[in-house]
A and B are shown apart, each in its own frame.
Chain A
């Protein structure tokens, strides 16, 4: 029974891994191919089926004047916008979530749960509904085609995620811990920063991860709200496409854009498996 179950488990995991890894391997090998190796039938093994070339990668670093497409700047733009928007979202989202979890708000029939739902409802709305209002608002503020404008829009998009995750997190933190801090001599602000916040880091890490994923992969708003001055990575990758699809540089760019998320996922996975996320208080 034991070995059979183990075998079954490993087989399932192996098959699943192949499904996950295959596209990455395919993109990786494609990024080293030239025009002929891609267009004249499938080729698999480097140096046997095709002669590897670095051309696909070089294009990404070459300036447009030299016939390349520069993705370094969009890459840095994306990092800047994603990180700053995520940071602001977590900061504001955590404070909002703490208030929603610990204090009772009431305005007519609107109560805490309704306010929380109002935040989440921003994500339920189809993004296209927001496109025109955002465009007009940023236009009036003179922030179209700027990084600051994008950061503002992304905070609007990411903060609901942070609020949602953190409200849930704080609701699971017993209120006695706040009360104990007050009894031990903290005022409410100290209680939050000295006791509640250090215990909330795991929740903030998870919320931060989600914010970064959603921010990093957004194409829609990055495409609509920028033109020539600033460009974010997803838009830059799509604009690599031309009359002859450059599969090799597209593959290279795709791999480069996924890399940071993989790194983040690995770090957080370590954090998760150390048991730091669950049982922080119990």
Chain B
């Protein structure tokens, strides 16, 4: 348990070559002790590199790493007391399940009775009690992944538990239970959990704070609600949520309204300082309102398609060449031809050069 601080950390896998490209661009980040974080981003955005830097598998090309204020940048992985679980199960095939779970404690020289009690506790939490004496090699993939997880949980004084898409090989029902279990463990032991995923639902339901990464950069850090309501860049708006945020090119009219096509739309955003080009209006499909008739902040659009998503419908409507996506409840009747769509002022986000105007 510790506060983990990344100071100006950056990493390049081949720093000396001419076209050295950062896998991770310089950044600062503090992980609060006991926090529950999810790192979200597309493949190859630097998520795993960040975890590997924290656990010491990768030495950052720049910057410092502090655990509770102590510089550990040059410390070896084994000295850092961190737990890490990988995407695919890693088990010690020549050992039993029991010995697999005990290994991190045995390596650190804990006494036998303590090891026994911890192993039993973790085995019980993960429903592995019946398998303890079995050879780990013979288990199924999800059982093996439980062992990997168990090895991460068996030490309760770790600085943090880092998980790199740990539930990929686990079936959906068990996935749900395990996420609950991880939350419980986080609350019980107050251990910091950092969870890498590219599944936004997983991130949203698991974490208190989500870190969105793209192309080696942290784009936004915030609660699930913040990420959903006020994406800091158009990338976050596009990446978080299904469907992606509606984004339309527009022009600033005055300090609180913009011109979207032929319509004038008001927003709560203060646009005084905005004067550049490349202005975009962003609004979630969930927040666009279906109106009976024309009103303020409303556009008239032509319905192109209505998709049934089970518990709701997704309307695609064409307004002067812009496709507006609207998410409505299943019961809502959608007119066949023309619809009036209202953009609530507080839900209209304005982006200047892809970055949110605050």
Contacts and interface: CB of A to CB of B under 8 A. Distances in A.
Interface of A: 174, 176-177, 179-180, 182-187, 190, 194-195, 198-199, 201, 279-281
A183 B93 contact: no
Contacts of B82: 183
Interface in B90-104: 90-94, 103-104
A184 B104 contact: yes
Most-contacted residue by chain A among B93, B104, B151 (CB, 10 A): B93
B107 A190 contact: yes
A102 to B, nearest CB: 12
Closest 7 CB pairs of A and B: A185-B107, A184-B104, A182-B77, A198-B94, A180-B90, A185-B108, A176-B86
Contacts of B55: 179, 183
A190 B76 CA distance: 13
A174 B78 contact: no
A5 B151 CA distance: 49
B83 interface: yes
A184 B107 contact: yes
Q: Is the interface of A mostly helix, strand, loop or mixed?
A: helix
A279 B94 CA distance: 12
Interface in B56-108: 56-57, 76-78, 82-84, 86, 88, 90-94, 103-104, 107-108
Contact of A280 (B57, B90, B137, B148): B137
Given A176-B90, A179-B57, A187 B84 contact: no
A180 B84 CA distance: 7
B78 A183 contact: yes
A183 B88 contact: no
Interface residues of B, number: 23
Contact of A186 (B78, B84, B86): B78
Given A199-B93, A279-B137, A281-B93, A179 B88 contact: no
A199 B95 CA distance: 10
B88 A176 contact: yes
A219 to B, nearest CB: 39
A164 to B, nearest CB: 23
Nearest to A197: B94
A180 B151 contact: yes
B293 to A, nearest CB: 61
Contacts of A174: 88, 90
Given A182-B56, A199-B92, A281-B93, 12 more contacts: A176-B88, A177-B92, A179-B55, A179-B77, A180-B86, A180-B151, A183-B77, A183-B78, A184-B151, A187-B76, A201-B94, A280-B137
A186 B107 contact: yes
18 contacts: A176-B86, A176-B88, A177-B92, A179-B55, A179-B77, A180-B148, A182-B57, A182-B76, A183-B57, A183-B78, A183-B82, A184-B78, A184-B151, A185-B78, A190-B107, A199-B92, A199-B94, A201-B94
A189 B76 CA distance: 13
A177 B94 contact: no
Interface string B18-43: 00000000000000000000000000
A110 to B, nearest CB: 17
Nearest to B86: A176
Nearest to A201: B94
A117 B236 CA distance: 48
Interface string B134-148: 000100000000001
A93 B86 CA distance: 30
Contacts of B56: 182
B92 A182 contact: no
A39 to B, nearest CB: 58
Nearest to B84: A183
A7 B77 CA distance: 59
A274 to B, nearest CB: 11
A185 B83 CA distance: 10
B264 to A, nearest CB: 56
B78 A187 contact: yes
Contacts of A177: 90, 92
Interface in B126-163: 137, 148, 151
Nearest to B57: A179
A280 B107 CA distance: 22
Contacts of B107: 184-186, 190, 194
B104 A185 contact: yes
A184 B103 contact: yes
Nearest to B151: A184
Contacts of B90: 174, 176-177, 180
Contacts of A279: 137
Nearest to B89: A282
A153 B76 CA distance: 41
A174 B86 CA distance: 11
A194 B77 CA distance: 16
A173 to B, nearest CB: 10
A99 to B, nearest CB: 18
**A183, A185, A194: most-surrounded residue (chain B CB, <10 A):** A183
